[in-house]
Amino acid sequence: MTLDELQSTVDQWIKTYGVRYFSELTNTAVLMEEVGELARVMARKYGDQSSKASDLQYSLQDEMADVLWVLVCLANQTGVNLEEAFAANLKKKTQRDATRHINNEKLKVNTIDSSN
């Protein structure tokens, strides 16, 4: 599915089942809520926090999809074409960061033998 198809699919779902989009401000708040739920899963799965029984209702893929859903809703509401926006953003990053990360010593693999 392309981003254009994704935006169209979400728009059709909203018109069929969702009655209407929530306001842009409400969807921004919902986006923050969904990012928080994703952060909870990440902190427990990959971080140092231990899980609680209530965490079992959350899954990484579902939380990522929720974030994407609300982001697509906001794009639809504000007239942003995500395919065009992403292509422009990728071009900007590529031009700006062409050598930035390659030359970042912090990102290079440490080849020092730690057995000494």
In a domain, 92, yes or no: no
Single-letter amino acid, residue 52: K
CATH number for 42: 1.10.287.1080
Instruction: List all residues 6 or more positions away from 113 whose beta carbon is below 8 Å from its beta carbon.
Output: none
Helix (H) and strand (E) counts in the chain: 4, 0
* Confidence at 90, pLDDT banded by 50, 70, 90: very high
In a domain, 56, yes or no: yes
In a domain, 32, yes or no: yes
In a domain, 108, yes or no: no
What is the tens place of the pLDDT at every residue in 41-78? Answer: 999 999 998 988 888 888 999 999 999 999 999 999 99
What's the pLDDT at 110? 67
In a domain, 16, yes or no: yes
Q: Is the pLDDT of residue 115 over 60?
A: no
CB 76 within 8 A of CB 21: yes
- Prediction pTM value: 0.85
In a domain, 102, yes or no: no
What is the tens place of the pLDDT at every residue in 3-35? Answer: 999 999 999 999 999 999 999 999 999 999 999
In a domain, 10, yes or no: yes
In a domain, 99, yes or no: no
Q: Count of domains in the chain?
A: 1
